[in-house]
Every structure is written in structure tokens, then in C-alpha cells.
């Protein structure tokens, strides 16, 4: 095992916490969960000593408030990924669990951590070092997990299997992936009831976790955005009529969005949609076929993942509307980032939005799966005159300011250390 010690600070702290991490290589911060960790740890208070254990290269390297240690995965995994995305992921998870566990035990022998924090526990292999430390050191160490996302009770094996096959995965890959989700999430629930603290993002997700069997007290720490940073990035020339930011999958609604955009293009022939986000080679190929079939090659741009937050914000500010037809969200940070950039948001009417964006006059919630109404709303917004659109922009920015990370991170750390 190759364990590298990264940035170091020599200040004695009161609370010493080990954070166990994994992220997609080489992309880093490509989803809401990783962005949460990045923003929270930037705001680590002086009385907390964070040691982060992450796969190389860690996106936490630039954070001078914490100590970063990296474990290395073999390069042959990248070659496997080109041929079989799911196999490469499974191997990556298994190796990461092993390397993290060994590294965590060695670090704890030296540092004597008071707590171990697993920030994205639904990636259940990241629980391995926490389980090992709990067994080896028994009650001497406190285990905290955050569950940012988990399948809903109605997402049965059959439902998950059909979602994968619709994205172009083979029968075997779809079945394996569905079984993995079902049983790894069972492991998460099992661990949640045996560890010390469970933190989640919303009352909606807390309710789902209880329905799935979590009996521990669940602490809710809503997430936020970096308001000042977004504000400081200048306005951009409007290149795109709409933008989507998220994983390219059925649950994120990207295929509904393509159907809706076909309707939009009938009205505005040159309307341009930008899709930003991570996808497997299989899912990307399926999406490209869908775009070609609907003759939208000139109207839809597949940008891919963007881990540079500044570049992502510029892309959002280069667009007029933020469209997010996800059918399953536990908070919805992407939509709030869209509002912070001054974009009206068109989204499906999910229960979690009752907790955050439903009251914003620049948010337009559409009945779930009704992409025809979503298309109608997009067309209506593209038809607005400059005066009315400017009002939507002002309302969006003003509303988003209450989600600032400087406020939200304090509550998160309160849960983490108490």
C-alpha cells in the first residue's frame, strides 16, 4: 500500500476526527455529496482537528485547515473502466475498502482519534475502516456517518433493474448493479443502527431512513452554496438556453429532459441545451443514440463532468434556464446553485423541495414525469421579455442567499462534535 501524507498543520486541536473518503478518479468533485464535503471541510473550526483519508489525487489537497492522507489505486483499473465500467467500479471499491482499512488502523495507532466520520455512507465500502476501528478499539472510538442518498422503499430489485436496462446496460450488468444497490444499502442501515451518530440532509431523507429501518436518532444538517464565490464570478454571455447539471441517468431525469427539449426545439429551432455531468460509457452511448434519434444533435451539447467549481458556475451563468427533471432527490443542491447564478429553475415537484425551494417565485415545479408541461414552461420562460426575466433573476439570487455555507457548516460541525 502506498500511503502519502499531504498537507500538514501543527496546531493542537480539541476534537480529533478521521474522515474516510473515496471519489471517482480522476474527476474528484463531480456530485453533490463530494461538493458538500469540500465546502464543509473548508470551514473546519479551530477546535476541530480533521485528518482526511482519501484516494489519490484527493480534491482536498488545497485545504490548509485539515491534514490529508492519500492511498493509491492501481492504474490497471482505468484500462478496465474503458471496457467494463461496472467491473472497474466494483474492483475499485473492494481495493479502496482494503487500503482505507489498513491506513485507518495505522493512523489511529499514531493519532488516537476520538471519532471516525464516513461522509458518504451509501457508498457502503467506505464503512469498512469504521467497522474495523469499532471492532479493534471497541468503545474508545465514536463512529459518525452521513447518508446523503439511499434508495426509497418502493425502489425494488425489479425497478432498479429496469432503470439500468433503459440506460443501455446488459442484462447481467443491470442485475448485478441492482443487487449491489439493494444489499449495500441494507449494510448501510445495519451499520447506522450500530454506530453512534447518523447525519442526513433533509427531513424527507430522514423519513425514508426510518422507513428503511434506521432506529438511531437522525440529525438533519441541510446543505448550502458558496454565495459570495458565486457572486464574484462575473456574468457570462448567454450561449445556452438551458443547462442541466447532474449524473446522466434515468433517476436524474436526463432522458425526460431530452424528450422535453425535442418539444422546445419545435418552437425554437436553434434552442441549445447543455448537459453537464458524469456518466458511464454505456449510459453516454445510450444518451447519444437518444439525441440522434430525436434529431437533436445540433441542439444538445454533452459537456461531460466538470470538477472545477469556478468553470461550472461560469457554465451555469452562460445559460438562461436551469432545468432539473430528476425524479429522486434528497436535497437538490444543483437547483439552488442555479438560483444563485440568477437562473429560473424548472424541476419536477419532489417532496424534498417543500423544505427548500418551493416558495421561490423563480422556481417552477412540474408534476413528476410530465415532460410535456416541463417543455411548455421552458418555452414560456424563453418567451419572456427582458424586464420580466430580469425580475426572475433578481428573485432567484435573493432567495438563494439563505443557503450560504458559512451558515450551514456551523450546524453541520455542531452535529459532528456533539
| Domain annotation covers residue 252 | yes
Average of per-residue pLDDT values in the chain: 90
Out of 168, 188, 220, a domain closes at 220
| Residues 257, 161 within the same domain | no
**In contact, 248 and 277? CB cutoff 8 Å:** yes
| Residues 393, 251 within the same domain | yes
pLDDT digits (tens, 9 = 90+) for 305-321: 998 889 999 999 999 99
* Cα–Cα distance measured from residue 340 to residue 240, given in angstroms and rounded to the nearest whole number: 17
- In angstroms, the Cα distances linking 314 to 30, 37, 80, 96, 338 are 15, 22, 33, 33, 11
Positive or negative, the Cα torsion across 30, 34, 35, 38?
negative
| Residues 249, 382 within the same domain | yes
* Cα–Cα distance measured from residue 263 to residue 375, given in angstroms and rounded to the nearest whole number: 6
pLDDT over threshold 70, residue 72:
yes
Chain centre distance of CA 177:
19
| Residues 253, 346 within the same domain | yes
pLDDT over threshold 70, residue 201:
yes
pLDDT digits (tens, 9 = 90+) for 163-184: 888 888 889 888 988 898 898 8
| Domain annotation covers residue 263 | yes
| Residues 117, 197 within the same domain | yes
pLDDT over threshold 70, residue 84:
yes
| Residues 284, 171 within the same domain | no
How many domains does the chain fold into? Answer: 2
Structural domain harbouring 271: 227-403
Percentage of the chain exceeding pLDDT 90: 61
Query: What is the reported pLDDT for 398?
Result: 95
**In contact, 259 and 371? CB cutoff 8 Å:** yes
DSSP state of 402: G
Exposure string for 327-362, b = 16+ CB within 10 A, e = fewer: ebbbbbbbbbbbbbbbbbbbbbebbbbebbbeebeb
* Cα–Cα distance measured from residue 214 to residue 210, given in angstroms and rounded to the nearest whole number: 5
Amino acid at each position: 500500500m502506498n500511503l502519502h501524507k499531504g498537507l500538514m498543520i501543527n496546531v493542537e486541536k480539541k476534537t480529533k476526527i478521521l474522515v474516510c473518503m473515496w471519489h471517482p478518479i480522476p474527476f474528484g468533485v463531480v456530485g453533490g455529496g463530494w461538493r458538500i464535503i469540500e465546502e464543509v471541510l473548508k470551514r473546519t473550526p479551530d477546535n476541530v482537528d480533521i485528518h482526511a483519508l482519501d484516494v489519490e489525487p484527493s480534491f482536498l489537497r488545497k485545504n490548509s485547515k485539515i491534514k490529508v492522507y492519500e492511498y493509491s489505486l492501481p492504474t490497471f483499473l482505468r484500462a478496465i473502466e474503458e471496457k467494463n465500467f461496472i467491473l472497474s467500479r466494483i474492483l475499485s471499491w473492494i481495493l479502496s475498502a482494503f487500503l482505507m482499512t489498513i491506513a485507518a488502523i495505522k493512523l489511529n495507532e499514531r493519532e488516537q482519534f476520538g471519532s471516525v466520520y464516513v461522509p458518504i455512507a451509501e457508498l457502503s465500502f467506505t464503512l469498512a475502516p469504521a467497522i474495523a476501528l469499532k471492532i479493534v478499539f471497541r468503545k474508545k472510538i465514536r463512529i459518525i456517518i452521513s447518508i446523503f442518498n439511499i434508495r426509497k422503499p418502493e425502489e425494488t430489485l425489479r425497478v432498479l433493474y429496469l432503470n439500468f436496462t433503459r440506460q443501455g446496460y446488459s442484462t447481467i450488468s443491470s442485475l448485478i448493479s441492482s443487487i449491489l444497490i439493494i444489499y449495500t444499502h441494507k449494510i448501510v442501515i445495519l451499520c447506522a443502527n450500530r454506530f453512534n451518530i447518523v447525519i442526513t440532509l433533509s427531513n424527507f431523507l430522514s423519513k425514508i431512513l426510518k422507513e428503511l429501518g434506521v432506529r438511531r436518532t437522525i440529525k438533519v444538517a441541510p446543505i448550502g452554496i458558496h454565495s459570495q464565490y458565486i457572486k464574484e464570478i462575473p456574468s457570462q454571455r448567454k450561449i445556452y438556453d438551458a443547462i442541466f447539471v447532474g449524473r446522466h441517468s434515468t433517476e436524474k431525469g436526463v432522458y425526460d429532459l431530452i424528450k422535453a427539449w425535442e418539444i422546445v426545439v419545435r418552437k425554437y429551432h436553434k434552442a441549445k441545451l447543455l448537459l453537464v455531468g458524469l456518466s458511464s460509457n454505456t449510459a453516454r452511448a445510450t444518451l447519444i443514440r437518444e439525441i440522434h434519434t430525436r434529431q437533436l444533435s445540433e441542439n444538445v451539447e454533452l459537456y461531460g463532468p466538470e470538477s472545477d467549481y469556478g468553470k461550472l458556475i461560469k457554465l451555469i451563468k452562460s445559460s438562461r434556464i436551469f432545468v432539473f427533471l430528476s425524479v429522486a432527490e434528497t436535497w437538490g443542491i444543483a437547483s439552488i446553485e442555479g438560483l444563485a447564478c440568477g437562473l429560473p429553475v424548472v424541476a419536477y415537484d419532489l417532496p424534498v423541495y417543500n423544505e427548500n425551494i418551493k416558495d421561490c417565485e423563480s422556481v417552477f415545479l412540474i408534476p413528476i414525469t410530465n415532460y410535456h408541461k416541463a417543455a411548455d414552461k421552458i418555452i414560456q420562460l424563453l418567451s419572456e421579455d427582458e424586464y420580466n426575466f430580469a425580475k426572475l433573476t433578481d428573485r432567484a439570487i435573493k432567495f438563494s442567499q439563505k443557503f450560504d455555507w458559512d451558515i450551514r457548516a456551523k450546524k453541520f460541525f455542531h452535529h459532528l462534535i456533539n
